């Protein structure tokens, strides 16, 4: 597990004008001890990509869930303490495990609440997708926008036709 007590950022060298092999080794060492940040950023970017780039609304919701899971992972991993056990009361400790500490329970509780909120958000999002599918007959964002545009064009064309008809009527009188 990553060293929870280590520095958050790689230490800045005294002469950092030209990044030499030493600075590179620093970054590598930081990645080796804080790989949870790397995984979290990777997962989050995958989720963000799905939210932004996918056309299917259901896939967007899945991307949102992935993004959320990345945040859960981040919070839980920063609550980890080397050699500690899960923050649930441990009564029947075997001999030799009397002094094992608990991990930080605050991120766990926070993420429990976040999971519940996330389920509600997913439910609302899926309900909206269901209504959109009923109204438009599709869950593809491009098709929905095209359908909206076509409707707007049809409306403006109708309004123009009405105006032209009114003008023609005025000219006759």
Q: Which residues bind another protein (CB under 8 A)?
A: 85-86, 88-92, 94, 97, 112, 116, 119, 123, 126-127, 130
Q: Judged by CB, which is closer to another protein: 123, or 157?
A: 123
Q: Judged by CB, which is closer to another protein: 41, or 97?
A: 97
Q: Please say whether the beta carbons of 80 and 4 come within 8 A.
A: yes
* Residue where the block lists tokens 């949102």: 64
Helices of type H across 54-140: 57-78, 105-136
Tell me the Cα Rg of the chain. 28
Q: Judged by CB, which is closer to another protein: 92, or 173?
A: 92
Q: Judged by CB, which is closer to another protein: 21, or 94?
A: 94
Cβ 85 to another protein, closest distance in Å?
6
Q: How far apart are CA 58 and CA 60, in angstroms?
A: 5
- End-to-end Cα spacing for the chain: 87
Cβ 79 to another protein, closest distance in Å?
16
CB atoms within 10 A of CB 57: 20
Cβ 50 to another protein, closest distance in Å?
15
Nearest Cα neighbor of 67 from 81, 55, 50, 84 is 50
Cβ 92 to another protein, closest distance in Å?
8
Q: Judged by CB, which is closer to another protein: 20, or 137?
A: 137
Cβ 89 to another protein, closest distance in Å?
5
């Amino acid at each position: 597990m990553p060293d929870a007590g280590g520095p958050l950022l790689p230490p800045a060298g005294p002469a950092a004008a030209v990044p030499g092999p030493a600075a590179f080794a620093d970054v590598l060492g930081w990645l080796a001890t804080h790989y949870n940040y790397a995984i979290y950023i990777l997962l989050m970017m995958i989720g963000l990509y799905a939210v932004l780039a996918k056309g299917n609304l259901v896939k967007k919701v899945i991307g949102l869930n992935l993004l959320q899971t990345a945040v859960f992972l981040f919070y839980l991993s920063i609550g980890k303490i080397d050699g500690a056990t899960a923050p649930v009361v441990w009564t029947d400790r075997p001999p030799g495990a009397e002094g094992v500490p608990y991990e930080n329970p605050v991120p766990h509780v926070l993420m429990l609440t976040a999971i519940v909120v996330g389920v509600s958000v997913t439910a609302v999002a899926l309900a909206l997708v269901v209504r959109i599918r009923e109204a438009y007959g599709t869950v593809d964002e491009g098709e929905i926008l095209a359908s909206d545009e076509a409707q707007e064009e049809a409306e403006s064309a109708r309004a123009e036709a009405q105006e032209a008809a009114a003008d023609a009527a005025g000219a006759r009188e």
